[in-house]
Amino acid sequence: MKDLHTIIFTGTSGGGKTTALRAVEDLGFYCVDNLPLPLLSDFIETMKEEPTIDRAALVVDSRLRNYIEGYALAYLALTSSGNVLEVVYLDAGDDVLVRRFSQTRRRHPLGGDDLRAGLLEERKLLAPLRAQASTCIDTSDLTVHDLKRLIQDRYRIVGFDLVVSLLSFGFRYGLPSHADLVFDVRFLPNPFFIDEMRHQTGRQQTVSDYVLGSDEARQFLEHTQTLLTFLLPRYEAEGKVYLTVAVGCTGGRHRSVAIAEELARRLGNGRPVTVRHRDIER
């Protein structure tokens, strides 16, 4: 049978599972929402036999709570027989989830009239799934569009080779919660203080040349490239599917953008690399 790229999205209600599922569906994944766990094995075997499908994604959540306890055994049985499952756990802070439910006027599947009690019970119920998760994404500070871009950046290039995502950001807007490695480039000369560059970005040649032309930038890029060249094959050997490398400056428009673009260029020789600039429009 062919290999099947299978993603299980799980996590708290309101955490973003449906958005994540729709995001990969747009990329061509065969998607199922809230598959009962007893059908998981049959589902995967059926997908592997279907010649037109090589990637699938599904949501497992608390709506079918009676099956959650059997998840750990089902996961072990499938992985022991050679299946590779990637479990992505999506969550957000209680205040954020309460606000999302109040905006949508939806009822929490476990909450009844006490939403916070329902969230607490749900997290306890989903603990086995979180323990098996290959990654956890905190969506508290992500809009629907941000989460969709994040998910599609990770899964646009399909397969189990390590996909590297370069992400620029501004420290004044907070650290990206899903970053695996974070580099601070605020020590570099800042184009913001040069009038003709202030309203440009690190994507523009003038700013890029200014940032990358300093000795500090050249040394930083050489050392960082050496470090990542050392790390990437070791992460692959560990079975890591993707790696998010975040590069931050003060506002996320100049230095971090130029450095992230250059790192992507250096690392992209024969390796899937994506680039995203979180705060470039702020």
Confidence at residue 160, expressed as pLDDT on a 0 to 100 scale: 45
Angle between helices 71-80 and 40-49 in degrees, nearest 10: 30
State pTM to two decimals. 0.64
Domain locations in the chain as residue ranges: 5-155, 163-277
Reduced to 3 states (helix: H, G, I; strand: E, B; else coil), residue 182 is strand
Q: How far apart are CA 8 and CA 33, in angstroms?
A: 10
Report yes or no: 223 and 175 within 8 Å, Cβ to Cβ: no
Position with higher pLDDT, 98 vs 70 = 98
Report yes or no: 170 and 279 within 8 Å, Cβ to Cβ: yes
Say whether pLDDT at 224 is over 70. Answer: yes
Say whether pLDDT at 159 is over 60. Answer: no
Q: How far apart are CA 81 and CA 84, in angstroms?
A: 9
The architecture of the domain spanning 5-155 is: 3-Layer(aba) Sandwich (3.40)
How would you label 218-241 residue by residue, b for 16+ Cβ within 10 Å and e otherwise? Answer: eebbeebeeebeebbeebeeeebb
Span 76-135, pLDDT tens digits:
778 777 777 888 999 999 899 888 887 766 777 766 667 788 888 888 888 888 888 888
Position with higher pLDDT, 109 vs 176 = 176
Mean pLDDT across the stretch 229-235? 91
**Proportion of the chain above pLDDT 70, given as a percent:** 91
Of 182, 153, 197, which Cα lies nearest the Cα of 260?
A: 182
Confidence at residue 118, expressed as pLDDT on a 0 to 100 scale: 82
Span 7-24, pLDDT tens digits:
999 898 889 999 999 999
Position with higher pLDDT, 28 vs 68 = 28
Say whether pLDDT at 193 is over 70. Answer: yes
Which token pair is 89?
Answer: 């756990």
How would you label 72-102 residue by residue, b for 16+ Cβ within 10 Å and e otherwise? Answer: eebbeebeeeebebbbbbbbbeeebbbebbe
Confidence at residue 56, expressed as pLDDT on a 0 to 100 scale: 93
Which token pair is 134?
Answer: 């290959």
Confidence at residue 252, expressed as pLDDT on a 0 to 100 scale: 97
Say whether pLDDT at 167 is over 60. Answer: yes
Confidence at residue 149, expressed as pLDDT on a 0 to 100 scale: 86
Select the highest-mean-pLDDT range: 73-77, 122-126, 212-216: 212-216
Mean pLDDT across the stretch 49-64? 83
